[in-house]
Structure 1
Amino acid sequence: MRRTSLLLVPGVAALAVILAACGSSTQVSSGAGLSSPVAATTAGAAGSSSSAAAGSGSVGAPRSTVAGRSGVAASAAFNCPTGGDGFAFASGGDVNIQNLWQKNLIPAWEKVCPNTKITFTFDTHSANANLDLAKVAAAIKSGQPVSVDLTDNFSMAAQQAGLTEPVTVADIPSISRISPTAMAAVKSAAVPYRASSVLLAYDSTKVTDPPKTLAELLTWIKANPGKFTYNSPSTGGSGGNFVETVVDSKIPASALTSMQTTYNPALDSNFAPGLAVLKDLTPSVYQNTYPNGNQAVLDLLSKGEIEMAPVWSDQFLSAQQTGQLDKKIKVTQIANPSLNGSPTYLAIIKSSAHVKAAQAFIDWVLLPAQQSQIVSTIAGFPAIPISDLPAGVQGAFAGIDTQNLRPNLESKTSADLQKQWATAVAQG
């Protein structure tokens, strides 16, 4: 499943249009409808970057609110950790996430708090996440010092295993800005710092009235056999989230809430109605097969082999920026239910000797300047409300609820669904 594969994009101006489609029925492409206020977001993002590069002011100075910009609330002074308390930070994902930390946020932090050094390690494609998690678990169990203090690579798995420190507003004041739902999903033992969402991409020259709801989408697929596909859920989150959305739509609300937060295999029987719907779609799916990976689906859209598919918002935008996808491919967001979106979390490892330093860093990452960097650098949704960001960045997300994304199933529950899908749909 794609967890951190946000792709690097060149600026917020192009981002504005794709995100204007999210959460609305507006049918736009990333190359159309750029009015002057939206185009100005590139300059706004650059201004935010400068602010972030300077941190939030000098050590001990008030938090910068990007002078002269509306929509950024004044905040108290940011206090760096005392005593030169550095910490080890383990991240993972694609190269854009590495660049976000290594070339942007960590250098900015070290200008603000030069005495608090970060030992940064990066796990490309999160290939060693399970091994690193096992090492942390073994160290905690044996009472040995942990080698990682903070992570966004295996944060969810560590939280679910009870290996992360709970946090409060007293520890990290900026989490008062975070959606309570996102905090409750991890029992306040990790902190979201960015997010992303799956959207519905379509060829606007062939689909003039794209579906607005899941029911309309399913009807369209059957009425247009061979023109839709999604990747197998174990090979990428765009297909995985489509499968979850269909299955979730058939699960009673009380059971679904439990399945999103707690692993209970006894509830897996609730998958059956949704899997039956997906199985019934198979004759209408492109070549009655399922591509391997998010990119394979984008390739089919690019070649004109299909007319519609679920895609990650950032991957779609990057593909249009590089010319892989023609501007005729547009995106929209369905409702009742929407396709899933999910936060990425930072978590402090239990037994860390550098908890205070890690807490301060998370607090700083959640400030408007750093959240604006996430928007402009990797096209990520911010973790804090749009109203807290500079006005130019707010314009890029007009009408979008970036905080209250529809949650995924709990990770083990999702893995169970993938296995049942492989048997009941792919092989059934």
Structure 2
Amino acid sequence: MNKILGLLIGSFLLVLTACGEDGSEKSLSKLTTISWNEIESEAENTKVRMFMWGGDEGINQYMDEWVASRLEKNFNLTLERVPMETEEILQKLQTEKQAGKKDGTIDMIWINGENFKNAKETGLLAGSFTESLPNFNKYYQTNDPAFQTDFGTEIKGMEAPWGKVQFVFHYDSSKIDSPPASFENLKTWIKENPGKFTYPNAEDFTGNAFLRHILYANAESPSDIYEQPLDKEQIAETADKSWSYLNEIEPDLWRSGEHYPNTLTELDRLYSQGEVWMTMGYNEARAVSLIEQGVFPESTRSFVMEPGSIGNTHFLSIPFNSSNLEGALTAINFMLSPEAQLAKLKPDYWGENTPISIEKLPDHMKKAFRSVERGPSVLSQKKLEESFIPETEAAYVDWMKEQWFNEVVQN
């Protein structure tokens, strides 16, 4: 009898444990079956906490001054923005998961790429929710391949597209008449202008993206990289050419390559002080606000090189233990709205491109989007679209970090 009772108690405890592990996902599933009005109603008079990278003042102002005020006014929903590196956000969620914390401290996160892959694989996300977002289904091309995978990882509705960016180089047109058109041209330019170019190290997101451009440039075709999972043997020849390229330019880099900027902020500072004549970044319009703030010279312009400019989509997602699912869904749906996307496109705050489908918008919004002037430092939409090349799968990021250190830093 005691043995049977023990087995029953044990089974009961296992059921409780299982419910605790996926309780949030079940709650999210239930929420996605009720009316959207009910979700917004439940979000009223609550606070939603968004943890996100906070290293760009324009982005922070957009969130604090534009998004937060309208969430408060339109939905009586308070947005609390908590700045934190994405890797640290995932570490915090992992700690909460291990501690069995069901009512988490994070309701929404800004995420993509390798971080999304890690979050999905370790069960740190609440589950699929995009099908329930009215704005996503009304104004976005929901079957767009860019919304199906994120750096090669299947999305399955677990994150909503918030913005898209392309990698561009910036240069001072008062010092450079004509920027290089290819990476071979860049190598020549660096040789002719010693000390005036460098790039962030491979640990930095921007620096790593620069290295992936080098890899694309040395492949027979960029698609040989971005259409294939990482196969070290298959790309060995391309990789060798890439490390050779980087070692060849190193002696003529800023400080002769003895120090690489640790962050994009450090590289931007070198550019703003005139120590280097080029910088770079994963946002084709990021120079606009920096010029207005007097950080970058007014003569700053942007360019891309053959074989193209890597672009990607970034997303909003909900952690597994969000304590305000209704607030998170309401905020995300609003941040995907035409009004919010238009404000984000304008250079007043952020100035980044939008994943919204312009053709799905009402006529007055189509006109508003198409009339946005992004300034002379931003390449034309036609040029950006012509030069766009997709991202690799996430595995390349860590591989590039390791190989760059071994093949370039220690060489």
Structure 1: how far apart are the matches of 2:69 and 2:149?
31
Label 1:242 to 1:102 Cα distance change in 2 as closer, same or farther (>3 A): same
SS in 2 for 1:336: coil
SS in 2 for 1:310: strand
8 Å CA contact retained: 1:214, 1:337: no
2:256 to 273, 285, 288: 288
Alignment of 1:223-238 (within 5 A): 223-234=192-203, 236-238=204-206
Compare CA radii of gyration and give the structure with the larger one. 2
Match of 1:391 in 2: 367
Match of 2:3 in 1: none
The runs of 5 or more residues in structure 1 that have no matched partner are 1-76
Match of 1:247 in 2: 215
8 Å CA contact retained: 1:91, 1:98: no
Match of 2:162 in 1: 193
Aligned-pair CA distance for 1:369: 0.3
Deviations, residues 253-279 of structure 1 (Å, cap 9, x unaligned): 3553344xxx77777856433222212
Label 1:82 to 1:317 Cα distance change in 2 as closer, same or farther (>3 A): closer
Matched, 1:132 2:92: yes
SS in 2 for 1:343: strand
Q: Taking structure 2 as the reference length, what is the TM-score of the superposition?
A: 0.70
Match of 2:406 in 1: 423
Aligned-pair CA distance for 1:346: 0.5
SS in 2 for 1:420: helix
Matched, 1:151 2:109: yes
Match of 2:295 in 1: 324
Structure 2: how far apart are the matches of 1:118 and 1:405?
37
Structure 2: how far apart are the matches of 1:311 and 1:149?
28
8 Å CA contact retained: 2:308, 2:387: no
Deviations, residues 293-347 of structure 1 (Å, cap 9, x unaligned): 2233233333433333424545533332222332233222223122x33333111
Match of 2:136 in 1: 175
8 Å CA contact retained: 2:286, 2:352: no
Higher RCO (C-alpha 8 Å, min separation 6): 1
Match of 2:64 in 1: 102
Deviations, residues 375-426 of structure 1 (Å, cap 9, x unaligned): 2322222231355455344233652557995444444531231221122112
Structure 1: how far apart are the matches of 2:202 and 2:394?
13
Match of 2:274 in 1: 304
Q: Taking structure 1 as the reference length, what is the TM-score of the superposition?
A: 0.67
2:51 to 62, 67, 91: 91
Q: Which has the higher helix share?
A: 2
Alignment of 1:261-280 (within 5 A): 269=236, 271-280=239-248
SS in 2 for 1:90: strand
Structure 2: how far apart are the matches of 1:282 and 1:228?
10
The runs of 5 or more residues in structure 2 that have no matched partner are 1-34, 375-379
Instruction: Kindly provide the amino acid, as one letter, of the partner of residue 367 in structure 2.
Output: A
Deviations, residues 88-146 of structure 1 (Å, cap 9, x unaligned): 433222254443333321331232223xx35635034558324323134426xx48344
Instruction: Kindly provide the amino acid, as one letter, of the partner of residue 421 in structure 1.
Output: W
The more displaced of 124-133 and 323-332 is: 124-133
Label 1:404 to 1:134 Cα distance change in 2 as closer, same or farther (>3 A): farther
Match of 1:164 in 2: 125
